[in-house]
Amino acid sequence: MDLVMMTAVMAGAFADADAEGVKTPGIKFVDHVAIAVPCGELEAQVEAYKLLGFREIHREEVLGRDQVREVLLQIGEGPNLIQLLEPLSPESPVNKTIERNGGRPGTAHVAFRVDNAQRAFDAMQAAGFQIIDKTPRAGSRGTTVFFVHPKSRADHPFGILFEMVEDPQQK
């Protein structure tokens, strides 16, 4: 199943479950697809995306556990973004993703927008998902986020890291 189909199935499944009285994470849409970029390649990647018509809308260094430099790119006026992530240290989880990918750029995670990160966290935890963060935490650009493990469900592992994103400016 490709990423677009998997996203549609997940969003639809969570929305339908609500009608049955099951608490769901309230996924609204794909917020962004994150691409891990090796050290020193971020600016060249940004320029390549600009050649496709993307524009840079945000740039930030995220320290703490993440240790990345990020650039968010948007095409058109839609809410879906590309997030380029360059590790700032060898301990960065993004650096580990690049190492697993043979030193090449690659997909780091897919992020879904939710209205309320805590409510999404509680619903996913109750449904048995393996959540990496102990509680929702501060993300870049003023968001609240948490990550869901790729092997989160033994019965149906997703195979990709998911991030849930609450953006207080876009409710």
- Which residues are within 8 A (CB) of 13 and not within 5 positions of it... i.e. 6 or more apart? none
Query: To the nearest whole percent, how much of the chain has pLDDT over 90?
Result: 71
Q: Which amino acid is at 69?
A: R
CA–CA separation, 171 and 165 (whole Å): 11
3-class DSSP state of 43 = helix
- Per-residue pLDDT reduced to its tens digit, 50-85: 999 999 999 999 988 889 999 999 999 888 999 999
- Per-residue pLDDT reduced to its tens digit, 80-121: 999 999 999 999 999 999 999 999 999 999 999 999 999 999
- Which residues are within 8 A (CB) of 169 and not within 5 positions of it... i.e. 6 or more apart? 142
Average pLDDT over the chain, rounded to an integer? 87
- pTM for the whole structure: 0.83
- What is the model's pLDDT at position 83? 98
